[in-house]
Amino acid sequence: MAEGRRYEGFTPGLHPIDGIAAGGFQFAGMTHRGSLLALPDGIHAYAPETFAAVDEASLAPLFALPRGSVDLLLFGCGAMLLPVPPALRQRLRALGIGCDPMSTAAACQTYNILLGEKRPVGAVLIAA
């Protein structure tokens, strides 16, 4: 991963994911080791290290956004596809947010495409 400015936990604004490497990501001219939560208000450092640790509490920044800010949440589950727990899927659906689990690499690519299309998208990106 290229050296860049240090990431301090939150970068406001919309940023594509420029690179992914073992354990981290590149975006906005910076590098970050660990997972990310990419939302319309910015990119957040994300505490869960595995997809199993993703829960409603960890998604508090998403739930704090105005309704309609995100209509699709991509779940980058790590190296393999895992199902979104039914209770979390139901909570998201109740807020009008669809969800799509996939590998983290695929989630980064899909996020970038949808961001380029100016779609209201978010992504949970588990560092693999």
Q: How confident is the model at residue 9 (pLDDT cuts 50, 70, 90)?
A: confident
Instruction: Tell how strand 98-102 and strand 72-76 pair up.
Output: parallel
Residue type, 2: A
What pTM does this model have?
0.91
**Digit-coded pLDDT (tens) for 41-54:** 999 999 999 999 99
- Joined tokens for residue 101: 């689990």
CATH code for the domain of 44: 3.40.1230.10
Environment class of residue 78 by beta-carbon count within 10 Å: exposed (0-12), middle (13-18) or buried (19+)?
buried
For the chain, the domain total comes to 1
Read off the DSSP letter of residue 111: H
Q: How confident is the model at residue 8 (pLDDT cuts 50, 70, 90)?
A: low
| Structural domain range at position 79 | 5-125
